[in-house]
Amino acid sequence: MNQAIIQTDRLTKIYNPDTVPVHALRDVSLSFEQGEFTSVVGPSGSGKTTLLNMIGGLDKPTSGSVMIDGVSITGMKDRELIDFRLKNIGFVFQHYNLIPVFTARENVSFIMLLQKRDKAEMMERTEKLLQQVGLRERMDARPKQLSGGQQQRVAVARALASRPKFILADEPTANLDSASAMNLLDIMEKMNREENVTFIFSTHDQRVIDRARRVITMVDGAVESDIATDQKSQTA
């Protein structure tokens, strides 16, 4: 582990502040370092997805701030945020959310196209990533022609394609059978170990929690515990 790439400072999110206030996050201050493989766990409504949305710049906090690599994204305008996400953050969604009319190859290269990468580099990286997730033979298949596990592996390749600083994965194994989930976790863990890619998951899945090297437990919008499973523990 090395320097912090994500820092949240007293992050608070209150939905419906004027009517029926719901405290989704309460003064959450966390720090994530490069190369982490972290699970954010907790019951439904505990705020884990909200936390990931804040870190991913998809939602704005009521108070507090999020710093990514020393840059505050809290005050960024929508256009700046979209650009920031494109350059810095990879997303893996519970429902895969691939573009249904694109092939696996096109889904992965699309994000590099948005980044206006060189075509040759784009092709090379796409093939490499799809090979890494074990789908080199299915590059020209469309999402409908792939199983759930395969789709999620394409989604991981897509998230990695933009060379993000970190990847946010919201319940990535929730819709997968056991074998596919294990296979996906193997791939992500391998990427993390070999290429130092930072993964932050929100999950209920014990298999993910078991693999994580840091587990943050949230209850009622606050961090209840923050445990490094390699024995370096922290407290909220």
Partner 1 sequence: MNAKLAWRNLWRNRRRTLITGASIMFAVFFAVLIQSMNRGSHEYMIDNMARFHTGFIQLQDSRFESEPSLDNVFEMDDALFERIAETHPNISFLVPRLETFMLAASEQQTRGAYVMGIEADLEHQLNGLKDHLKSGRFFTPGEGAVVMGEGLAGRLDVAVGDTLVLLGQGRFGTTAAGKFPIAGLVKHPMFEMNDQMVYMSLPDLQWVVSAEGMITTLLVTPERVRDTDVVAASVRESMTENGEFTVKTWPELMPELLQAIEFDMASAYVMSAILYIVIAFGLFGTILMMTLERVREFGVLLSIGMKRPSLSLVLFLESLLIGVIGVLAGCFISFLVVFYFYHHPIPLTGDLAAAIMDFGFEPILPFYLSGSLFLEQAVIVLLLSTLICLYPIIRVFRMDVLQASKA
Query: Hey, what's the torsion of the CAs at 16, 21, 22, 23, to 10 degrees?
Result: 110
Work out the angle between the directed axes of helices 148-161 and 178-195 (0-180°, nearest 10): 20
Region from 23-31, 112-120, 124-132, 217-225 binding partner 1, contact rule CB under 8 A: 112-120
- Number of residues this chain uses to bind partner 1 (CB under 8 A): 25
**Residue ranges in 39-98 that form contacts with partner 1 under rule CB under 8 A:** 53, 56, 58-59, 78-79, 82-83, 85-87, 91, 93, 97
99, 118, 193, 232: residue in contact with partner 1 (rule CB under 8 A): 99
Between the alpha carbon of residue 27 and those of residues 23, 73, 115, 117, 223, the distances in Å are: 10, 17, 34, 39, 9
Contact 85, 114 (CB under 8 A): no
Q: Which of 53, 49, 47, 48 is nearest to 74 (CA)?
A: 53
Among 71, 100, 145, 233, contact with partner 1 (rule: CB under 8 A):
100
Report residue 64: phi and psi, to 5°.
90, 180
Q: Residues 6 or more apart from 131 whose CB is under 8 A from it?
A: none
In the complex, minimum distance from the CB of residue 18 to partner 1, in angstroms, rounded to a whole number: 18
Helices of type H across the chain: 48-55, 78-88, 104-114, 119-132, 148-161, 178-195, 206-211
Residue 195, both tokens = 């290429």
From the CB of 7, what's the least distance to partner 1, in Å? Answer: 21
Question: Residues 110, 148, 189, 222: which binds partner 1 (CB under 8 A)?
Answer: 110
Site string for partner 1, 122-161 (x = CB under 8 A): ------------------------------------x---
Residue placing its CB nearer to partner 1 in the complex, 102 or 204: 102
Residue type, 56: G
Residue 101 binds partner 1, judged by CB under 8 A: yes
Query: Rule CB under 8 A: which of 160-219 touch partner 1?
Result: 162
113 binds partner 1 (CB under 8 A): yes
232 binds partner 1 (CB under 8 A): no
The contacts of residue 172 (CB under 8 Å, 6+ apart) are 92, 93, 94, 152, 155, 156, 184, 188, 201, 203, 208
Closer by beta carbon to partner 1, 92 or else 216: 92
Of 107 and 198, nearer to partner 1 (C-beta) is: 107
| Binding stretches for partner 1 (CB under 8 A) | 53, 56, 58-59, 78-79, 82-83, 85-87, 91, 93, 97, 99-102, 110-111, 113-115, 158, 162
